[in-house]
Each structure stands twice: as C-alpha cells, then as structure tokens.
Structure 1
Amino acid sequence: MPDTTPSCFDRPYSAFLFDMDGTILSSLLAAERVWGAWAARQGLDVEAFLPTMHGARGVDTIAKLNLPGVDPVAEAAAITEAEINDVEGVFALPGAAAFLAALPSDRWAIVTSSPLRLAHKRLEAAGLPIPKFIVTAEDVEVGKPNPQCYILGAERLGFSPSECLVFEDVQAGILAGESAGSDVLVITATQHHDLETSHPTLHSYEDVRVRIYEDGKVGLGK
C-alpha cells in the first residue's frame, strides 16, 4: 500500500519546536574546541569521542563515560563556562534568521540541551532572537533522547506535542521528538555524513518559507 502519512509540508501545525545547535545555528567549531580539550585532558580518544557529545546535555554525556574520580555535574559546569567564553565561529544557518522572524512569537520555541546562559550567548553570537519560550538543560530532569524536553516545550506554548513540528539534527533529538509524539523535520546543514532517517529532511531554510494559516497555525511552504 502507498504511504499515506501526511508530509510536514502538507499540514498546519499549532507550533514549531526548534533544537538550537546544528538546527538553527552552528556552534560545531566552538563546541568541539572546548570538548576536545576536555577529552584530551581525560585521556580519551578525542576523534572517537567528539561525535558522541552532540545533542545531549553535558552532564549526561560525561556521566555515561563512568570516568573514575570525575564528578559529571562539576565537569559539565566547567565546560559550560568554557563554552560561554568561546563563541568564535558561531553563526546562524542560512535563512534561519528570516525564517524565525516570519513566525509569530507565540508559535515557536527553542528546546535545547544547552544551559540557559550558553543558549543566550550562542543565539546572541549568531544574531538570532531570544525566543519568548525556551526549554534548556536546567528545565528537565532527564535530557534527550528522553521526550521530556519537547513535551515541556509544547506545554509552555499551550499545545500538545502531537500538534507541533520538531526541527532536529541529531539522533538523540530525533528520538526525543518521536517519543513526544511530534512530527520531525531533520536539518542537514551541519552534517558531515548522511544521517539515516525516515523523516523528511531540509538542508537550508533558504529552501522553505513560513506559511501562516487563517486560524493562526503555522506550516511550511516552498
């Protein structure tokens, strides 16, 4: 039978939920400088480690390593401070600023694994707006791929996650959006290798426009 699942380009949504890093801005160079230096100090294989730290909260990434004598909370806090002090090379993805500016402020939120101060610093560095609604690492007990963050993001906007479209770029976030019950659109602008996914993909916000429906809902147009 043919696939009758509605495309995210063919339906209205109550709101859009955006991951931040790799989805509306690129912080890849800055993040990998800081995390690479930390990993080297811990004696880790830096090249093998770096792909594993994207999309998750720092405290969760460190805790999974089970490093002897390492306090994940303290280490994550120190890394956050280092990242706040290093935003060189952080930039908005092509078309992202105009795309966000076209959305009503009560119809979108950022849902990020970054702490709030770091999120604000990177948005400022990228020239992107601070949204009216934002969910950060401090707002949840369990980070991505747990769906708690996207459920909370939808709640803050006043909607069900099933009414929202999630914009993501890595597997942990995609799984979080799926588990929350949202449709997911995968942004591929910062990916250096193909991410296998059954979800629709978008390389650039320059390839899409915001559609506003008569009832206030938002959608994607080409």
Structure 2
Amino acid sequence: MPRLPTNLDKPYAAFLFDMDGTILNSLAAAERVWGRWAERHGLDVDAFLPTMHGSRGIDTIARLKLPGVDPVREAASITEAEIEDVDGVVALPGAAAFLNALPPRRWAIVTSSPLRLAERRLEAAGLPLPAFMVTAEDVEIGKPNPQCYILGAERVGANPKECLVFEDVHAGILAGEGAGAEVMVVTATQHHEDTFHAHSTLSSYEGIRPIVFSDNMIGITAL
C-alpha cells in the first residue's frame, strides 16, 4: 500500500503539478538524451545528470559556462532530441485517474520543459492536457525561482498561499516554497530525503482521490 500524505482532507484553492517525476516518469528518456550531450562535451556524465533535473535546459547549460557553447542553441537541440525520444515515458501509478477526477479549472501543470516537449510527454504517458500550463517559455527565470508557481496560481485564479504544489526535486520544492504554497513531495522517481522533512510525501497516486468541498475548495482523501 503506498504511503498516504499527512494532509488528507485539507482544503486548497488549486493544485499545481510539476510534470517530470511528479505525474509522469521520463527519467530514462531524459537521461539518455542529456547523457549523450554531456558525453559529447566531455563532462562526467554520472556527476552531471543529477544536476539537470527540475531546471530549464537553458539554465542547466548556462550554469556550466562551457567555452563556445550557446545555451539557447544547445537547449533547443536537446528539446528536439527529447521530443523524439519518449520511449519508456509513463504515467505514475494512479496519476491519470487522479488528474481526470479533478475539476478541470482547479489545477495546472508548472513545468521546466518547453511546451512542445510537455505536450509530447503527456501524450506519451496518456495523461490529460490541463486547461492551464506554465512552461519554460513562460518565465524569464526558471526554478528554483518562484515565478513559475506564482504564474501558475494566477492562471487558475488562486492565491499561491492557498495552493498545493506537487514536486519531486529540490529546485521545484524551493520554487513552491518561495511562492508561499504548501508543497507535497512526490517520491516515485527521486529520493532526496533531506528535502522531505518539512513536507508531506506521496509515493504514488494510488489509494487516494481528489475531493471537492462545499465551498469549491479541493483536497485529497483516501479511497
């Protein structure tokens, strides 16, 4: 039985979901593409790969300050490769049913992926397209800056402080915290225990379902 979150039945104005590692697993595909790129540029692949999760591609590349490397051009090339490689991209257990049960205008996806890649991975995983989405193109500064979650809350018409953010990596957790939202850490693909202590955790979406309260706030309850 998956571990259930501790904040069952608490009301929220909206749910804001990161995508990769939070509602779907694209770990193998992403690491194949980024691993090949890192190898071409002479990086230590094993040391590099953990640093690229949760951040926009352009930010990941810019941080490296590689001589002669244009982060914009390289990030665009990586995005095309990731769009082509969706082998093994799957929904997390129970995620499709959970998302489909939510009121359509009370949730959004807030991802560091570009829009085309986000749509491709959601399609590959069999997950619904949300009414609202914030992607890499929508922000000037990526996670861990909170801009993305502030914008996500704005798009669903909610105060960030009344939202529940679903995240899986440190950069995203910091972004949710910075926006003033409560954070649920999804542990299905990433395991960084030092980031969990302040938050509820969710190992999968099995054993839970969304609920709608009489005032139209939403929450999570056990099946």
Coarse TM-score class (shorter-chain normalised): over 0.9
How far does residue 211 in structure 1 lie from its aligned partner after superposition? 1.2
Could you say which residue in structure 1 is the equivalent of 2:97? 98
Q: CA deviation at 1:10?
A: 4.2
Amino acid at match of 1:163: E
Instruction: Indicate the SS of the match to 2:143.
Output: coil
1:95-127 superposed Cα distances (whole Å, 9 cap, x missing partner): 000000110001000000000000000000000
Does 2:8 correspond to 1:24? no
Q: Aligned pair in 2 of structure 1 residues 219, 191: CA closer, same or farther (>3 Å)?
A: same
Question: Contact 2:146–2:175 (CA<8 Å) still a contact in 1?
Answer: yes
Find the aligned partners of 1:55 and 1:190 in 2 and give their Cα distance: 12
Partner of 1:137: 136
> Are 1:14 and 2:13 counterparts?
yes
Runs of 4+ in 1 over 6 A off after TM superposition: none
Shift of 1:8: 3.3
Partner in structure 1 of residue 204 of structure 2: 204
Match of 1:4 in 2: none
Contact 1:154–1:160 (Cα < 8 Å) also in 2: yes
Partner SS for 2:199: coil
Aligned residue-pair number: 216
How big is each residue's C-alpha offset from its partner over 1:36-93, in whole Å with a ceiling of 9 and x where there is no partner? 0000000000000000000000000000000000000000000000000000000000
Alignment of structure 1 residues 171-182 onto 2, 5 Å: 171-182=170-181
AA of the residue aligned to 2:17: F
Aligned to 1:55: 54
Alpha-carbon displacement from aligned partner over 1:122-161 (angstroms, at most 9, x marks no partner): 0000000110000000000000000000000000011110
> Pairwise CA RMSD of aligned residues?
1.0
1:17 and 1:202 map into 2 onto residues whose CA distance is: 15
Q: Distance in 2 between matches of 1:196 and 1:165?
A: 16
- 2:146 corresponds in structure 1 to 147
- The offset of 1:23, in angstroms, is 0.1
Paired residue secondary structure (1:166)? strand
The CA distance in 1 between the partners of 2:118 and 2:195, in whole Å, is 27
Task: Please list every run of 5 or more consecutive structure 1 residues that lacks an aligned counterpart in the other structure.
Answer: 1-6
Judge conservation of contact 1:8–1:165 (CA < 8 Å) in 2.
Answer: no
In 1, Cα distance between equivalents of 2:163 and 2:178: 13
Gap change, CA 1:193 and 1:183, over 3 Å in 2 = closer
**Cα displacement (A) at 1:216:** 1.1
For the 8 Å contact 1:8–1:183, the answer to whether it is kept is no
Partner Cα separation in structure 1 for residue 60 and residue 29 of structure 2: 17
Which residue number corresponds to residue 3 of structure 2?
none
- Partners of 1:153 and 1:143 lie apart in 2 by 13
Gaps of 5+ in 2: 1-5
Q: TM-score, normalised by structure 2?
A: 0.95
- Alpha-carbon distance in structure 2 between the residues aligned to 1:32 and 1:221: 34
| Structure 1 position 208, deviation (Å) | 1.7
